[in-house]
Structures are given as C-alpha cells and as structure tokens.
Amino acid sequence: MDVDLIPAPRELRTGGSGRVRLGPGTRLAAGPGTEGVAHWLRATLGAATGLPLAEGDGPLRIELGIDPDLPPEGYRLDTGEHPVRLAGGSAAGVFRGAQTLRQLLGPDAFRRAPVRPGRDWELPPVTVEDAPRFRWRGLMLDVARHFMPKDGVLRCLDLMAAHKLNVFHFHLTDDQGWRVEITRYPKLTETGSWRSRTKFGHRASPLWDDKPHGGFYTQDDIREIVAYAAERHITVVPEIDVPGHSQAAVAAYPELGNTDVVDTAALGVWDTWGISPNVLAPTENTLRFYEGVFEELLDLFPSEFIHVGGDECPKEQWRRSATAKARMEDLGLADEDELQSWFIAHFAGWLAARGRRLIGWDEILEGGLAPGAAVSSWRGYQGGIAAARAGHDVVMCPEQHVYLDHRQDGGADEPVPIGFVRTLEDVYRFEPVPPELTEAEAGRVLGTQANVWTEVMESPARVDYQTFPRLAAFAEVAWSALPAPAERDFAGFERRMTGHYARLDALGVAYRPPAGPRPWQRRPGVLGRPIDGPPPDK
Ligand code: ACM
C-alpha cells in the first residue's frame, strides 16, 4: 500500500512492518469535543467499509482527541499499532486528520457502500504530523451562470473536505440568475432565478440552448448547506453582487436599475455572457433594498466575511443618468468611480456595524477601502499587493493562475472554455504569496482560492472536468509547505496522483484524465474562443 497522500503532509514517517487491521470489532473512541468527527467517520468510513465502528473502548480502537498544543487545524496521526491515535488542535484539526486516515485506507474507503463485503481493512504504519500553510483554502463556485442543484453543492463540500479545503465561496447572484430565496423580495427568485435561454459556449458562439434555465436555494436549503459545511469544518462565504453583475435583480425589481436611462421594466434575466451594462442605480431605495437582502443573508450565513462582489461595474448608465449625477453632487463625489466606492463603503460600514466584514473583488480598492474590509485579488497579484500594503487582508485568486474555467490543455480534443491554457502543472506551481511582499505584508494574505466560473459548464459533469484534477494541485498549494514554484516536485506529485485518481474514481468524479478527455468529454472547438495567453496583471 503506497502512502500517497494529497495534499502532502508536513511530516510523514513510515516505520514498522505490521499493519493495523480494522474489523467488525474495531471501536471508535471519541474524546471530548471530537464527537462530530466520530459521527462523520462512522457515517463515511462506516458506509464504505461496512464496519460499525461502534463507540467505546476495546483492544482494537481508533482514538480521537484534542491536543491544545497543536495548531487549530493541525493534527497528529499514529497508525503504528492499536490504538490508532488521531489528535488535533481542535475538532477542525481532528477532521483534517480524519481525511488522511481515510486516504490511508485506500480508494475503496471513498465509496458509499462496500464493494467487497468482508474484505480486510488495514492501515500502513505511519506517523503524520501536519498543519495547513494557509487559513483560507477556498473554492468559489458560480451557481448563477449555471445552477447547481443542492445535492451537487453538498457533493462539492464533500470533495472540498477530502482535499482539506475550508472556505466555500458561494457566488449566488449575477446578471444571469439570482439563486437564494429572500423572503421579503419574492420576485428575486420568482423572476430572477430563470432565464429563457442560454448561450451555449463562449459568448461569441452562435449557438443557443433554447430552453429555460434556472433554479434557486430556499432558505432551508441554505441552512442545510451551511450546516453540512460546518460538519466538515468548512465556512460558507456568500456573495451577493453589487453594484454591477446585477441584471437578474433589476429584471425582478426594475426600480433597482437606472430607470431614467433604460426601460428596466423591459429587461429580462440576461441570456448571454460578458458584463451587463444594466447595473444598480445609486439611490437610497437601492441601498435599503440590499440592506434587506443582507439582513436575511446574515441570518443564514454565520461567516465572518460577506462577499459583495464589486467587480466589473460599467459606469456608462451612471454617466447618462440625471439621478446618478444628482447623487454625486449631493455626496460631493468627483466622478462615477467614487460613486462605486461610496456604494461599497456603505455596505462595509453596514456589515461592520453588525460584526461582520466585507470582502470584495479587487476593484473595490479603487477610490479607497474601509478599514477591516478584505480583497479577493483576481485580476492578478497587483490588487492583493496594494491591499496588503494598505493594511487589508487578502485572498489571492489571480485569474492568470487559479481560474479553473480556463482550458487544461491546448489539444484539439479539449472542450474549449474561456481563455488560455492552465495545466495541472501550472496550478501546482502557483504561489499565493508574491515575493515582493515583506513578511508583515505577507501576513495579510489569509490564503488562496480557486474560482470555478460556470458560463461554459452546462452540467455538473463539466464542472467536475474543469475542477479536477487541478483542485488536487491547488489543495496542495494551499495546504502544504511547498518550496518555491521552480523547486516543486511535480513528478512526485504526479506519482501520488496515480493513487488519487483511484480515489476520485471511487468518488465518481468526472475529472480530466491525464491522457486527455474521454470521448464524451470532448466538445467541438467552434464553441470556444481560445486566446493566446493570460491577461496582464492589473
Ligand atoms: C471576476 O472574475 N470578475 C471576479
């Protein structure tokens, strides 16, 4: 049995020749504070192995405990003899260690039911001491462009957990759809969650999928998702976009738009890709409306951070709007960029007054940012560098490196999504902390996240294809203490991936195989528009 852990742990010592066996009599002894992890292990490993893993002591047992001397998400796992010991700095650390324990049992531990009932289960004798490099190890999923039904979101959380990721950035609204029930504004989902047709492929594609697309999560769905994530020690950070990427909201409530410039009552939910010019009007009515949205959101999501978007807000309608002009005069603002900044500052203050923190895409730096607000640096490293230097926390997610909608290979068989080639190796060599930051500035980098934008991902299988195997490389970047990019052992990572593909197979993940897409994963290149290379770092 190879020990091919992904993400790689800080320290792995193998030793001894004996293997610890797990069988029907193996007990699971949960120390104080680890009951939730025991529950997860019993449900997950219990299902895969068919073993009851009953609570209690016995000569053959797995012991879970908290060791406050370990880092909060760190753990130590010892499988040399019975009892198998797993200790974490907190329940989260024990849970991360439980992922390692599962990997050590082999790929069949990733199934939902035993495939060879009665088989032996054994652990290789190892000691693992491990802790994450970053406290924010995120995945963003865009459920606005293509809706992911709730079970798909829960599965996504399981896949994140298996890779020791801990922040799910839930992109809930955009021009093409509003996906969360807001009880006081029912039309956001009645109208805003459906579009009549969908562009198939890149926006330059001539093809349409001429059927309605949509869906949304009820507030109970959201509570279930948040609770399911919490059981896996994953924080869900919701994103509601303001003031751009808002056409679905304007289609539902036309008074939110720039009614003196366009007939917003005639707008539908957007059916193509790109950046809609139909942005929110900078009025008191809009602010009050969105405060209402965020009030309901705060009840649903306990996260410290609330993401407000803030990216790609075209100012054209504001330039033409007498209402916007009057607003700028009232507020003493010099231009439309300051209006955008005022909009974001309003919600930064509003969230801070409620004990939360605003996070937004790096455009929110333009015009100054409220203290305590944080930045998702997406247009490159530069936004993150500027934010860190200005004393803001940063999540590094530069599109040049970790936008998983970009194609994984230049081959003709590759389904052509948006943009340039980002291979598994490119992602493996991504470094979240740019060398120009001082140590103190680097301390502002909370971590990193991979972003899955779904314009060209019309099905969950396509999301799998774009996300895996690159998310495994990303997880190692976010968790493991890797050396500088050029010194990383990609060949070693690929060797470990051999075992990891077997786990992904057992989990039913439709990843891109190393040899290229399977026939059913191919898609005619005419639908995409590859570009030569990544955009410049802004
Ligand atoms: C973004 O990709 N517009 C954040």
* pLDDT of 205: 84
Ligand 1 atom at shortest distance from the alpha carbon of 361: 4
CA of 219 to the centre of ligand 1 (A): 26
Instruction: Choose which residue among 239, 378, 404, 538 to substitute to test ligand 1 binding: the one with the highest number of ligand atoms within 8 A of its C-beta.
Output: 378
SS3 421: coil
* pLDDT of 530: 58
Q: pTM of the predicted model, to two decimals?
A: 0.97
Distances (CA, A) of 526 to 205, 382, 409, 529: 7, 34, 16, 8
* pLDDT of 524: 60
* pLDDT (mean) for 504-513: 98
CA of 460 to the centre of ligand 1 (A): 21
d(C-alpha 106, C-alpha 109), whole Å? 6
* pLDDT of 246: 98
SS3 128: strand
* pLDDT of 322: 98
Q: Superfamily assignment of 11-130 in CATH? A: Chitobiase/beta-hexosaminidase domain 2-like (3.30.379.10)
The pLDDT confidence band at residue 418, using thresholds 50, 70 and 90, is confident
Q: How many CA atoms lie within 13 A of 506 on its CB side?
A: 23
* pLDDT (mean) for 160-180: 98
* pLDDT of 236: 99
* pLDDT of 163: 98
Ligand 1 atom at shortest distance from the alpha carbon of 378: 4
CA of 344 to the centre of ligand 1 (A): 16
* pLDDT of 120: 86
* pLDDT of 213: 98
The pLDDT confidence band at residue 18, using thresholds 50, 70 and 90, is confident
Instruction: Choose which residue among 312, 362, 365, 538 to substitute to test ligand 1 binding: the one with the highest number of ligand atoms within 8 A of its C-beta.
Output: 312
Catalytic residue set: 174, 245, 312
* pLDDT of 529: 59
Nearest to 378 by CA among 222, 518, 534, 248: 534
Ligand 1 atom at shortest distance from the alpha carbon of 403: 2
d(C-alpha 306, C-alpha 374), whole Å? 10
Instruction: State how far Cα 277 lies from the chain centre.
Output: 27
Domain ranges of the chain: 11-130, 136-527
Nearest CA to ligand 1 atom 3: 311
* pLDDT of 118: 83
CA of 453 to the centre of ligand 1 (A): 9
CB 295 within 8 A of CB 219: no
Mean of pLDDT over the chain:
95
* pLDDT of 527: 58
Ligand 1 atom at shortest distance from the alpha carbon of 245: 3
Instruction: Choose which residue among 140, 361, 376 to substitute to test ligand 1 binding: the one with the highest number of ligand atoms within 8 A of its C-beta.
Output: 361
Cα three-residue angle 116-118-122, rounded to 5 degrees:
90
CA of 448 to the centre of ligand 1 (A): 15
Instruction: Choose which residue among 239, 449, 453 to substitute to test ligand 1 binding: the one with the highest number of ligand atoms within 8 A of its C-beta.
Output: 453
Which conformational region is residue 228 in: left (phi greater than 0), alpha (psi within -120 to 50 degrees), or beta?
alpha
Structure tokens given for 22 = 């797990």
In degrees and rounded to multiples of 5, residue 123 shows phi and psi of -110, 140
- Residue pLDDT, tens place only, 65-85: 999 999 999 999 999 988 999
* pLDDT of 368: 84
CA of 12 to the centre of ligand 1 (A): 38
Structure tokens given for 94 = 């024990």
Ligand 1 pocket by C-beta < 6 Å: which residues? 311-312, 361, 378
What end-to-end distance do the CA atoms of the chain give, in Å? 47
* pLDDT of 138: 98
In this predicted structure, the answer to whether residue 410 has a pLDDT above a threshold of 90 is: no
Picking from 3-7, 95-99, 195-199, 517-521, which range would have the lowest pLDDT averaged per residue?
517-521
Picking from 11-20, 426-435, 447-456, which range would have the lowest pLDDT averaged per residue?
11-20
Percent of the chain, pLDDT > 70? 98
In this predicted structure, the answer to whether residue 525 has a pLDDT above a threshold of 60 is: no
Nearest to 242 by CA among 370, 323, 321, 341: 341
* pLDDT of 534: 85
* pLDDT of 2: 65
CB 200 within 8 A of CB 207: yes
* pLDDT of 229: 99
The pLDDT confidence band at residue 176, using thresholds 50, 70 and 90, is very high
SS3 529: strand
* pLDDT of 130: 98
Cβ neighbours around 165 below 10 Å, total: 27
Q: What is the CATH number of domain 136-527?
A: 3.20.20.80
In this predicted structure, the answer to whether residue 167 has a pLDDT above a threshold of 80 is: yes
Nearest CA to ligand 1 atom 2: 378
CA of 64 to the centre of ligand 1 (A): 41
